[in-house]
Structure 1
Amino acid sequence: MTAHGISPADLAHCRDVIRTGSLSFHAASRLLPGRVRDPALALYAFCRVADDEVDEGRDKTAAVLRLRDRLDLAYAGRPLNAAEDRAFAAIIAAYDMPRALPDALLEGLAWDAQDRRYATLSDVRGYAARVAAAVGAMMCVLMQVRCADTIARACDLGVAMQLTNIARDVGEDAREGRLYLPTDWLADAGMTESAFLSDPRPGPVQCRMVRRLLTEADTLYRRSEAGIAGLPASARLGIWAARLIYDGIGRQVRRQGYDSITRRARTSRVQKLAWMGQAAGLTVATFVMPRPAVMYAAPLPEVAFLVDAAGRQTRTPARSVAVLDTLAALSRRESGHFDTGHFEGGPVLVRRSA
């Protein structure tokens, strides 16, 4: 058994999951020290499998409710008999992982199951906080970093990465009936959600929306850099590499003229190696350069709850009211009983069984 309680066999399985399912993180993780890399691989494997089940499964609602049950079992010390679950339960025990962090991910995936739309950029950031920044906050816990300023910058990085993913996948998402662009952007352009989803095609309006997302991501990437110096010295290279590799995806979208509808931006192994080399130089600078004032900027309002949770020295035993309400709505959907509701990101029409 390893120092963090993950069995070698389970860890090997998690490594394989990431090697095939998340090439960018796998590349960056190779630069992390073993004491951080191994639990990080286990964390990402659990999150990857959970995301895939919701994203690719036929019954998204059931997938979210299964994830709820899996988290309950993991926090009870009785994980599902699967490598990812056993490894995640070991992380919970070894690092006193605040429950609010994986619950945030659960809530974001529940929003996906609800086919939620996001009216404003702030709403999109709220979604990104849950499905990406929560993972960044959990990474801080694995590194035993509880400084609020450092966690806030890690959350900036998570939101920036998710905005990059959204910008890259506009066409792919639309063809699957998913929409993460702010709906007020569509309205301002005289477009309806249904029209966009029924016939996604590149054009000046769509390209401007992708550009706006990447501009927002750029701002957050720059803010995130200040926090890397607050991480353990041995972990900085891997995080710098992750920051540059994900930003590289956005740069590829730009080179394609912001057309992420007919083309999906991809980066090569050679490019990743180049960004890793650049990361080495930037890592050296963290030891000699003073920390910029943005290090102490207030967290994004959408991630403040994550910063608070990750900064605690003990994990909370119960789910938040917001998460419980979201899960209750999904449970009603699963049983076929629904009312018309309104959610933070905009109205959602739900049915009541006869």
Structure 2
Amino acid sequence: MTDLAAETAAESVADMAHCREAIRTGSLSFHAASRLLPGRVRDPALALYAFCRLADDAVDETADKAPAVLALRDRLEAAFAGRPRNAPADRAFTRVIETFDMPRALPEALLEGLAWDATDRRYDTLSELRAYSARVASAVGAMMCVLMRVRDADALARACDLGVAMQLTNIARDVGEDARAGRLYLPTDWMAGVGLDPQAFLAAPEPDARTAALTRRLLAEARRLYHRSEAGVAALPVAVRPGILAARHIYDGIGGAVARNGHDSISRRARTGRARKLGWLVQAGLHAATVTLLPRSAVLHAPPLDETAFLVRAAADPRHASQGWGDELAAVFAQLAATDRLRAGPLDGSGARPS
């Protein structure tokens, strides 16, 4: 091995170690589920998830979201150009792109969802909320299928069901935390149906029978999609089935914890301890064995959700893969850039911004 090759290999190992640590401390649920994946999938999955998680945190944890999203746009452009930012997660993600021929439309969809967060978009209907969930969660599920070398449209549709279910569970768990940060994901037509005013709720989020009913309704939709997603597991390689089912059971278990709290996710945060996670890992292993023995369910061939169909097309057929930002996303970027310029203040006479 040449010195350059040895240096590149050492950098790759160091980058993966960084990604593992980022996931171990930043996402206990994903880290637990990933332990059941075979190494050939686990390592690229950790690289993928580290990039996605750090991207989400970059937007979620800053008050000035516009420049954060625009910086992510530039990082994604650089990764697909083969010139990643000099950071472990970016370098590791670029290797994933090159190794697995990752369709650009998939991480673009994730970035679009983060851009929606940055513009404080609200969702009037469950369909609109599913469209958001498709971008921030199902896009990751479709990318996971690519890492497994699975491009079957039916399997992808069920993976996208799982992504939406997981995101709806996250939203149900975080109703109070989001509201206190000025974020609202509950469908506003649901809120109107129980007499809740969005602005009044954000000003003073309090648990009551109405918010419990909305949380219960979100979890019911998530549970429906968890069950639909199970049919797709049989279309995945045998070795990855326990890991995917672990993610399904762990996140569904979070929803169960919310239910045990009386569907109050405003004054209480649902928590799942290590013992419960271990139990779900065991359950996932047993479930995977059952999937292997039983005939495939006809639900496998159900059409994708309307809101996730674009992801299925992009992952299943490279001809649908984006080669650049779509018009809607470009318009969101333009809106964010204008917001960023306004916040930065006017240019002085030399064309520079005053310090």
Please indicate, yes or no, whether the TM-score normalized by the shorter chain is above 0.5. Answer: yes
Question: Residue 337 of structure 2 corresponds to which residue in structure 1?
Answer: 331
Give the Cα–Cα distance (whole angstroms) in 2 for the partners of residues 241 and 287 of structure 1. 15
Deviations 1:174-201 (A, max 9, x none): 0000000001111122221110001101
Structure 1 residue 313: deviation in Å? 3.8
Structure 1 residue 335: deviation in Å? 1.8
Matched, 1:219 2:224: yes
The 5-angstrom pairing of residues 139-154 of structure 1 reads 139-154=144-159
Give the Cα–Cα distance (whole angstroms) in 1 for the partners of residues 11 and 27 of structure 2. 20
Q: Describe the shift of the 1:2–1:265 C-alpha distance in structure 2 as closer, same or farther (beyond 3 A).
A: farther
Structure 1 residue 57: deviation in Å? 1.1
Structure 1 residue 5: deviation in Å? 11
Give the Cα–Cα distance (whole angstroms) in 2 for the partners of residues 310 and 224 of structure 1. 17
Q: State the one-letter code of the partner of 1:197.
A: L
Give the conservation status (yes or no) of the 8 Å contact 1:6–1:87.
no
Matched, 1:292 2:325: no
Structure 1 residue 3: deviation in Å? 12
Q: 1:81 aligns with which of 78, 82, 86?
A: 86
Structure 1 residue 117: deviation in Å? 0.5
Q: 1:10 aligns with which of 10, 15, 21?
A: 15
The 5-angstrom pairing of residues 201-240 of structure 1 reads 201-240=206-245
Partner of 1:7, secondary structure, is helix
Structure 1 residue 316: deviation in Å? 3.5
Q: 1:186 aligns with which of 169, 176, 191?
A: 191
Matched, 1:58 2:78: no
Give the Cα–Cα distance (whole angstroms) in 2 for the partners of residues 219 and 332 of structure 1. 41
Q: Describe the shift of the 1:226–1:273 C-alpha distance in structure 2 as closer, same or farther (beyond 3 A).
A: same
Question: Residue 319 of structure 1 corresponds to which residue in structure 2?
Answer: 325
Partner of 1:302, secondary structure, is coil
Give the conservation status (yes or no) of the 8 Å contact 1:99–1:319.
no
**Aligned alpha-carbon RMSD (Å):** 1.7
Matched, 1:21 2:26: yes
Give the Cα–Cα distance (whole angstroms) in 1 for the partners of residues 128 and 7 of structure 2. 40
Question: Residue 199 of structure 1 corresponds to which residue in structure 2?
Answer: 204
Matched, 1:160 2:130: no
Q: State the one-letter code of the partner of 2:160.
A: C
Q: State the one-letter code of the partner of 2:325.
A: R
Question: Residue 313 of structure 2 corresponds to which residue in structure 1?
Answer: 308
Q: Describe the shift of the 1:2–1:230 C-alpha distance in structure 2 as closer, same or farther (beyond 3 A).
A: farther
Question: Residue 123 of structure 2 corresponds to which residue in structure 1?
Answer: 118
Structure 1 residue 317: deviation in Å? 2.1
Structure 1 residue 52: deviation in Å? 0.5
Give the Cα–Cα distance (whole angstroms) in 2 for the partners of residues 278 and 95 of structure 1. 30
Q: Describe the shift of the 1:191–1:316 C-alpha distance in structure 2 as closer, same or farther (beyond 3 A).
A: closer
Give the Cα–Cα distance (whole angstroms) in 2 for the partners of residues 211 and 2 of structure 1. 53
Give the Cα–Cα distance (whole angstroms) in 1 for the partners of residues 334 and 17 of structure 2. 36
Question: Residue 351 of structure 1 corresponds to which residue in structure 2?
Answer: none
The 5-angstrom pairing of residues 27-66 of structure 1 reads 27-66=32-71
Q: Describe the shift of the 1:4–1:225 C-alpha distance in structure 2 as closer, same or farther (beyond 3 A).
A: farther
Q: 1:175 aligns with which of 160, 163, 180?
A: 180
Q: State the one-letter code of the partner of 2:342.
A: G
Structure 2 gaps of 5+ residues are 1-5, 344-355
Give the conservation status (yes or no) of the 8 Å contact 1:4–1:91.
no
Which protein has the larger Cα radius of gyration, Structure 1 or Structure 2? 2
Question: Residue 135 of structure 1 corresponds to which residue in structure 2?
Answer: 140
Give the Cα–Cα distance (whole angstroms) in 2 for the partners of residues 29 and 192 of structure 1. 40
Deviations 1:94-116 (A, max 9, x none): 01100100000000000000011
Q: State the one-letter code of the partner of 1:298.
A: P
Q: Describe the shift of the 1:97–1:264 C-alpha distance in structure 2 as closer, same or farther (beyond 3 A).
A: same
Structure 1 residue 2: deviation in Å? 12
Q: State the one-letter code of the partner of 2:334.
A: A
Question: Residue 249 of structure 1 corresponds to which residue in structure 2?
Answer: 254
Give the Cα–Cα distance (whole angstroms) in 2 for the partners of residues 86 and 135 of structure 1. 18
Structure 1 residue 236: deviation in Å? 0.4
Structure 1 residue 39: deviation in Å? 0.2
Structure 1 gaps of 5+ residues are 338-354
Using structure 1 for the length normalisation, give the TM-score: 0.93
Structure 1 residue 322: deviation in Å? 2.0
Q: Describe the shift of the 1:81–1:144 C-alpha distance in structure 2 as closer, same or farther (beyond 3 A).
A: same
